[in-house]
Amino acid sequence: MQGYVDRQQYPGCSVLVAQGGAEVYYAQAGLRDIASGLPWERDTVARIYSMTKPITSLGLMLLVERGLVHLDAPVSDFIPSFADTRCLVPDASDLSQTEPCAPPTLHQLLTHTSGLSYSFNPGIVSKAMRDAKLDFSPGTRTLAQTADEIAALPLAFRPGSRWEYSVGIDIIGRVIEVISGQTLDAFFETEILGPLGMTETRFRVPAGTGDRFASLYTPLAGEAFDLNAKAEGGDSLRQTDHADGSPYHDTNMHSGGGGLVGTIDDYLKFAEMLRDGGRGLVSPHILSFMMRNHLTGDIASMGPSSFAEQPMDGMGFGIGGAVVLDPARARVPGSKGDFSWGGMASTFFWVDPVHELSVVFFTQLAPSSSYPARSQLKALVQGALT
């Protein structure tokens, strides 16, 4: 980590490792804000972006466990604007070239096989999302409003036919609101974050933690999330969201796909819950179901053309996270059954059921595809096992 900081690739970072329920390693390096020289510390609050997805996915599974919903239900049962779904015809060259199709199911939304996409992916639908700024970013739009705007676009492909990283779990967040009758932030606080003691993880920078909130940096000359224009800038650590003026201090958006900010110790509590059978929050049987591969093969076999937070060869996808099917094909040392996901600011976590490990890595550099830190970290942890 110090090497990444010294080479001016990461502003600052931290790693926390637990084994068998006990902390075995913690380290930090660098700064949470370069201009002010503030150090990166254990209680630094960071944007976890897509590491929100496993939390939202668990939220829906709590409702499944209570018999309030089933995974094969079409999303239109909860968001009527999806009722008349259309998808692009194969090899479409224009957004108008569509045909009717079934609305995606909740399972397809959770596993990125729904036909939805992301604005930073290649393709016609993704471009339309970029043009309309439909990315569930913090601001004045609400989750309900943006979900309806997404529903007005065609799907990129027929649901179930491919894998493409998408805003599907943002839509799941809206489904949770409809079923529970609560806003997503209230549901999280009462059902997940509160019970786990994750008191400093919220959609807005938690009260009293603003002086610990990190700034966000990018090595790109343009927008940090514009993965289709990856030209590097002259500054490898260009500030793209300052801690003081960040929209995360006052946002109306509750993005279940990427909206939470929090601390590394908070996220370890979530990871340990996944590793340790639910800890009374959810049954071990539901967790086992979530952390299995829900695809017909690995991600690579489903023809993806999108960005992903993980390798695609030898990796399956469960409910809200990736599952290692074959470490050799994934080309990263690890255990079969490792469950993991990362965030666009290069954060990462995994749980290893074989070695009883929970590992969480925090930094604030977007995009997460900039450096191979995740595979390096897994190799280091594996090499340290005795």
> What pLDDT, on a 0 to 100 scale, did the predictor assign at position 227?
60
Give ranges for CATH 3.40.710.10 in the chain.
2-51+203-384
In order of 140, 174, 337, the CA distances from 252 in angstroms are: 5, 13, 37
CB 324 within 8 A of CB 314: yes
> What pLDDT, on a 0 to 100 scale, did the predictor assign at position 221?
84
**How many Cα neighbours within 13 Å face the side chain of 218?**
19
CATH code, residues 63-180: 1.20.58
> What pLDDT, on a 0 to 100 scale, did the predictor assign at position 386?
82
> What pLDDT, on a 0 to 100 scale, did the predictor assign at position 267?
98
Distance of CA 57 to the CA centre of its chain: 10
User: In DSSP terms, which residues pair with 155 in a beta bridge?
Assistant: 87
Give ranges for CATH 1.20.58 in the chain.
63-180
> What pLDDT, on a 0 to 100 scale, did the predictor assign at position 232?
62
CATH 3.40.190.10 fits 2-51+203-384, yes or no: no
Q: What is the SS3 assignment for 232-262? A: ECCCCCEEEECCCCCHHHCCCCCCCCCCCEE
> What pLDDT, on a 0 to 100 scale, did the predictor assign at position 234?
78
CB 163 within 8 A of CB 302: yes
Instruction: Starting at the earlier edge strand, list the strands of the sheet with 12-19.
Output: 38-39, 22-33, 12-19, 357-363, 348-352, 339-342, 322-324, 315-317
Residues in the chain with pLDDT values less than 50 = none
pLDDT per position as a tens digit, 15-71:
999 999 999 999 999 999 999 999 999 999 999 999 999 999 999 999 999 999 999
> What pLDDT, on a 0 to 100 scale, did the predictor assign at position 226?
67
Tokens of 29: 């390096």
